[in-house]
Amino acid sequence: MRLQDKIALITGAAGDIGRTTAVRFAEEGAVVIVSDINAEGCAQTLKAVEGKGGKGSIIKADVTKEDDIINMFAGVQENYGRLDILANIAGGDFEPMITVDDISYEKMSYNIDVNLKSCILCCREAAKIMMEQRYGKIINMSSLVHRGSPMQFSYSAAKGGVFAFNRTMAMALGMYNINVNALAPALVEVSVIKDAVGSEMWEALSQDCAERYPLGRVAQPIDVANCALFLASDESSFITGQIIEISGGARL
Ligand SMILES: NC(=O)c1ccc[n+]([C@@H]2O[C@H](COP(=O)([O-])OP(=O)(O)OC[C@H]3O[C@@H](n4cnc5c(N)ncnc54)[C@H](O)[C@@H]3O)[C@@H](O)[C@H]2O)c1
């Protein structure tokens, strides 16, 4: 088992990528703390974890609220006494497919809160625990759109911020034996996108991407979860500050 008895906190664990990651970590022996704003989704994820013989618990938290984040890490500390792995997966594009004149202060702010500020604050709280124990693996969620993406203004900015912050945290925490890396997936087949665009548009979108990605398909949540597993394990112990593109070679 690659994560035997490790304590792992996963935010966004009710979503497709978060749930797949939670189950993958549990399969490798981790105790998984499932966190999301969506309590019902958390319960489903914990059920999936337990269905694989894994163990875990739920902490409901809204990562756009500093108090929720502080309480979440206090809960981890209180219940488990340590934290080995943090996967910051909560996020999404809450201002998608707009033109530049449609950028709204509220939606832009929310995108930055949920994708970037949440990452900074969760890393801060995790670092306090991990620095003490001189061990930790932090996995942040960026996106291939950190390089810029048409019609994704505030989301690409937020994910670009994750990219820069990830490197800075790696520089600060390396001396404490804490690895900080980020994932940058291209298009992943997830229900939130499929539901938002509808089946016809999804077919067109995923086919267009598949034609442009050298590996000829879009990503599945398991592709992202497997990369997160590698970064959470000691197999990646000399890798830090990296942003791993999970893109089928989309950008070579
Ligand atoms: N799907 C893709 O193509 C893709 C590509 C690159 C990066 N990503 C990133 O991967 C991550 C997971 O996305 P997904 O595709 O699985 O979508 P998803 O919507 O299934 O998962 C996102 C999860 O985050 C949770 N969340 C949203 N706001 C929250 C908040 N304020 N507090 C706590 N939890 C909150 C949602 O409830 C949801 O469960 C996101 O950060 C997303 O930006 C996705």
What's the average model confidence in pLDDT over 32-42? 98
pLDDT at 72: 98
Give the tens place of pLDDT for each residue, 70-85.
Answer: 999 999 999 999 999 9
What's the average model confidence in pLDDT over 56-77? 98
Mean of pLDDT over the chain: 98
Ligand 1 pocket check: which of 19, 44, 187, 188 to mutate, most ligand atoms within 8 Å of Cβ? Answer: 188
pLDDT at 248: 98
Distance (Å) from CA 12 to ligand 1 centroid = 6
Give the tens place of pLDDT for each residue, 197-221.
Answer: 999 999 999 999 999 999 999 999 9
Confidence of residue 157 (pLDDT cuts 50, 70, 90): very high
- Catalytic-role residue among 80, 155, 176, 213: 155
pLDDT at 250: 96
* Integer angstrom CA distances of residue 224 from 65, 171, 218: 26, 24, 11
Which residue, by CA, sits nearest to atom 25 of ligand 1? 12
What's the average model confidence in pLDDT over 180-192? 98
Per domain, the residue ranges of the chain are 7-188+221-241
Name the percent of the chain lying above pLDDT 90. 100
pLDDT at 126: 99
Distance (Å) from CA 175 to ligand 1 centroid = 31
Checking phi first, is residue 118 left (phi over 0); if not, alpha (psi -120 to 50) or beta?
alpha
- The span from the CA of 27 to the CA of 7, in Å, is 13
What's the average model confidence in pLDDT over 56-67? 98
Tell which atom from ligand 1 comes closest to the C-alpha of 193.
1
What's the average model confidence in pLDDT over 124-147? 98
pLDDT at 127: 98
pLDDT at 178: 99
Distance (Å) from CA 134 to ligand 1 centroid = 29
Query: 18 and 40 in contact (C-beta within 8 Å)?
Result: no
pLDDT at 60: 98
Q: Is 155 a catalytic residue?
A: yes
- The span from the CA of 238 to the CA of 137, in Å, is 11
The set of residues, in sequence order, having a beta carbon less than 8 Å from that of 194 and lying 6+ positions away, is 202
Tell which atom from ligand 1 comes closest to the C-alpha of 90.
24
pLDDT at 197: 95
Tell which atom from ligand 1 comes closest to the C-alpha of 93.
43
- Architecture of the 7-188+221-241 domain: 3-Layer(aba) Sandwich (3.40)
Sheet with 243-246: list strands edge to edge.
Answer: 55-60, 31-36, 7-11, 85-88, 136-141, 178-185, 243-246
| Ligand 1, residues at Cβ distance < 6 Å | 11-12, 14-18, 36-38, 41, 62-64, 89-92, 114, 141, 143, 185, 187-188, 190, 192-193
Phi, psi values for residue 244, rounded to 5°: -95, 120
